[in-house]
């Protein structure tokens, strides 16, 4: 992984490293044109050189950009720069559910029931919305769920955060594209449904298996 902090890609200045994933490295960045903070995923160079990957990235960005839900990270832009490819998306302050669970485990504590229920409800609502748009996520897991702190919860019963689903890097359209065909296994094995492990055709039920 090459640290690109301080560099500029298109009109985005990369200010801080957020994390590194299977397809790319994510930075907290600043949009110099619109003067706002965003997150920019810079694709790993060996993927960016693959024509099939570039096609999948374009599909991913266009598909995810059409999703508008309070518990789904918004996609703003995607493009090429001399060193490869990038996607610009909404920056969400807060840590991942995975990191939160690890902190609780270190203190021998569990996630409170009310928080567990709120996360489950918000993620189920986000997935229901995406599935109605004929989109599946394919990689629902704690590290892809961000807990965004809220100064004012939406209701008195709500916990002081909103769970937000990120990294639609494995998004697949349910219909009408050759890249949805069976035979390709993508995802995180620990959370994958049996049919996903076998490389079979998927629908929204596979996401629900991963969530549950």
Summarize the confidence of residues 100-128 as an average pLDDT. 94
pLDDT above 50 (res 160): yes
Q: Which domain holds residue 102?
A: 97-211
Q: How many domains does the chain have?
A: 2
Distance CA 126, CA 67 (A): 10
Using 50, 70 and 90 to split pLDDT, how confident is the model at 75?
very high
Using 50, 70 and 90 to split pLDDT, how confident is the model at 194?
confident
pLDDT for 58: 84
Q: Do residue 130 and residue 64 come from a single domain?
A: no
Q: Do residue 27 and residue 123 come from a single domain?
A: no
Task: Decide if 52 is inside a domain.
Answer: yes
pLDDT above 70 (res 156): no
Distance CA 173, CA 18 (A): 28
Average pLDDT of the chain? 85
Is-catalytic flag, 31?
no
Distance CA 60, CA 63 (A): 5
pLDDT above 70 (res 81): yes
Distance CA 17, CA 1 (A): 11
Q: Do residue 85 and residue 135 come from a single domain?
A: no
pLDDT above 60 (res 34): yes
pLDDT for 199: 79
Using 50, 70 and 90 to split pLDDT, how confident is the model at 188?
confident
Q: Do residue 199 and residue 135 come from a single domain?
A: yes
pLDDT for 98: 93
Domain end call among 72, 90, 108 = 90
* Percent of the chain with pLDDT strictly greater than 90: 50
Least confident of 21-25, 75-79, 151-155: 151-155
**Taking the chain, what is the end-to-end CA distance rounded to the nearest angstrom?**
33
Using 50, 70 and 90 to split pLDDT, how confident is the model at 185?
low
Q: Do residue 79 and residue 102 come from a single domain?
A: no
pTM above 0.95, yes or no: no
CATH of the domain at 164: 1.10.510.10
Domain end call among 90, 108, 131 = 90
Using 50, 70 and 90 to split pLDDT, how confident is the model at 54?
confident
Using 50, 70 and 90 to split pLDDT, how confident is the model at 172?
low
Alpha carbon dihedral 15, 19, 23, 29, in 10-degree steps, equals -20
Q: Do residue 102 and residue 202 come from a single domain?
A: yes
* Catalytic site residue from 31, 77, 139, 167: 139
């Amino acid at each position: 992984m090459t640290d690109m902090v301080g560099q500029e890609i298109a009109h985005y200045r990369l200010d801080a490293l957020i994390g590194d994933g299977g397809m790319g490295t994510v930075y907290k960045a600043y949009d110099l044109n619109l003067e706002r903070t965003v997150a920019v995923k810079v694709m790993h160079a060996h993927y960016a050189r693959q024509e099939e990957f570039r096609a999948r990235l374009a599909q991913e960005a266009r598909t995810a950009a059409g999703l508008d839900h309070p518990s789904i990270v918004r996609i703003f832009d995607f493009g090429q720069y001399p060193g490869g490819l990038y996607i610009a998306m909404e920056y969400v302050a807060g840590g991942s559910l995975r990191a939160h669970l690890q902190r609780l485990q270190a203190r021998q504590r569990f996630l409170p029931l009310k928080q567990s229920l709120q996360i489950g409800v918000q993620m189920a609502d986000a997935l229901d919305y995406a599935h109605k748009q004929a989109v599946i996520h394919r990689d629902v897991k704690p590290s892809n769920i961000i807990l965004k702190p809220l100064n004012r919860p939406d209701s008195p019963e709500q916990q002081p955060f909103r769970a937000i689903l990120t990294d639609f890097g494995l998004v697949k359209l349910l219909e009408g594209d050759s890249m949805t065909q069976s035979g390709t296994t993508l995802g995180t094995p620990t959370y994958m449904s049996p049919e996903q492990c076998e490389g079979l055709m998927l629908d929204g039920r596979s996401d629900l298996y991963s969530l549950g």
